[in-house]
Structure 1
């Protein structure tokens, strides 16, 4: 069989770039996407296509381009995403809509675009990059957690709907990794005199520390290869430090109020 063809959204940097480089080195034909290819004139890790996941028409054109060039599309990795922080009460509503448009609607546009081809060729794999944060409500990251949690649930539904077509769909949930996500994250302003001012600023400082001390994205790339090579991919694949993965176990086992207390202590609230 020819090399498997992989399409990665948000492939120009961070986790997406690491995954693309690793898969290319392991014999896959990789296409990555970015909103503006002119920003990466010297990018040569794999082929970059211009695509904004928020625009269905552009999504469809980019997917068809790959199919026309390769004759197939075996793996879609929905990696493009943006961060958002802020108090639930004070985050501008237009920013809430924007983050859902990228993190939730975007992957849905991508999946709708690739599913007909995967059915036609008798199989395929979709990996949705969610987040460990998507399994719990986190203080001052509630909207980000909500976008990833929503994608997680849709993935669970869609994998059952498409199972008979030979298509596998799974969630890949990273913890904190050393990427540029903090630089592109929308921060609701810290409002002087706000009831949330001190706690929100404290949480922002802690979040930046976690990203700066994050793990190597290569760990995510290795997990992606493992998923692709699996005959029957699982529903969920958390990847991150032991304590981050442990938080998912504790979420299932502990009473809700006790788990909430652990989070409050962690965020020093």
Structure 2
């Protein structure tokens, strides 16, 4: 059988690069994407193509390029994303729109572009990278949680709508991993004498510590490989430290105010 063809958005660094490299080593034909391939002249782990997930015409061009080169597309991994932090009240609205364009609308553009090809070939797999943060509203990360939570629910819906075509769609929800996401994350400014100044700064410091101390992205790569090999996928695949995965169980079983108290204590609020 020919190699399975995998397309990974946001493949030039972080989790995307780790997943692409691992799958290439396992024998898959991997295409990664980046907004500017010229910034990665020495990249050799797998082929990079130009793509901006916020632009439907860029998405269509990239997908068409992959299909022209490989004649098929077996797996789409929607990995490209951006972080955002800030008080809900003080985050500039243009930044809210930007994070939704990348984290929510971007994957939708990608899925719309690949679904016709997957129907044509009689099947395919789409893995949407959401986040454990997408299962709960976190303080000072409300808009990030909202983008991932929205993608989570759309994935559930589309999974049922496309089941009869032999297409499988699933959510992969990582916790904190040691990547460069913090460097590219938008931070709403800590405003002096703001009502949120002290709490936001303390939470910001804590968030950065979590990313710096995060797990090896190779864990995510191995989980993706496991998912691709399955005949039937689950709806959700959380991946991260035990305490992060436990938080999802607690969210389901604890009364809302009790769970909220745990978060308040965690963030020292």
Structure 2 gaps of 5+ residues are none
Moved over 2 A (4+): none
Q: What residue is the counterpart of 1:265 in the other structure? A: 265
Per the alignment, in what secondary structure is the counterpart of residue 103 of structure 1? Answer: helix
Could you tell me how far 1:203 is from its partner in structure 2? 0.3
Describe the SS at the equivalent of 2:38: helix
> 1:21 is matched with which residue?
21
Query: Structure 1: which 5+ runs fail to align?
Result: none
**Secondary structure of residue in 2 paired with 1:172:** strand
Show the 5 A alignment for 1:2-17: 2-17=2-17
1:220-239 correspondence runs (5 A): 220-239=220-239
Give 3-state SS (helix, strand or coil) of 1:248's partner.
Answer: helix
Secondary structure of the 2:2 match is: coil
Deviation at 1:32, TM superposition (A): 0.1
Pairs aligned (count): 269
The residue number in structure 1 matching 2:132 is: 132
Instruction: Name the residue aligned to 1:32.
Output: 32
Aligned-pair CA distance for 1:222: 0.3
User: If the length of structure 2 is used for normalisation, what is the TM-score?
Assistant: 1.00
Distance 1:192 1:211 in 2: 25
User: Superposition RMSD on alpha carbons, in Å?
Assistant: 0.2
Task: Deviation per CA, 1:148-204: give whole Å up to 9, x if none.
Answer: 000000000000000000000000000000000000000000000000000000000
What corresponds to 1:219 in structure 2?
Answer: 219
Indicate the residue corresponding to 1:153 in structure 2: 153
1:115 aligns with 2:115: yes
Q: Could you report, residue by residue, the CA deviation over 1:46-100 in whole angstroms, capped at 9, with x for unpaired residues?
A: 0000100000001001000000110000000000000000000000000000000
Distance of 1:104 and 1:92 partners within structure 2: 18
**Cα distance in 2 between the residues matched to 1:66 and 1:93:** 35
Find the residue that maps to 2:103 and give its secondary structure.
helix
The residue correspondences of 1:76-87 to structure 2 (distance < 5 A) are: 76-87=76-87
Q: Distance in 2 between matches of 1:106 and 1:58?
A: 11
Shift of 1:110: 0.2
Structure 2 Cα separation of the partners of residues 38 and 50 of structure 1: 9
TM-score by length of 1: 1.00
SS at match of 1:87: coil
Q: Distance in 2 between matches of 1:50 and 1:193?
A: 43
Shift of 1:146: 0.1
Secondary structure of 1:207 counterpart: helix
1:59 corresponds in structure 2 to: 59
Cα distance between partner residues in 2 of 1:81 and 1:69: 26
Matches within 5 A, 1:177-256: 177-256=177-256
Cα distance between partner residues in 2 of 1:212 and 1:97:
27
Deviation at 1:11, TM superposition (A): 0.2
Aligned to 1:98: 98
Alpha-carbon shift at residue 206 of structure 1 (Å): 0.1
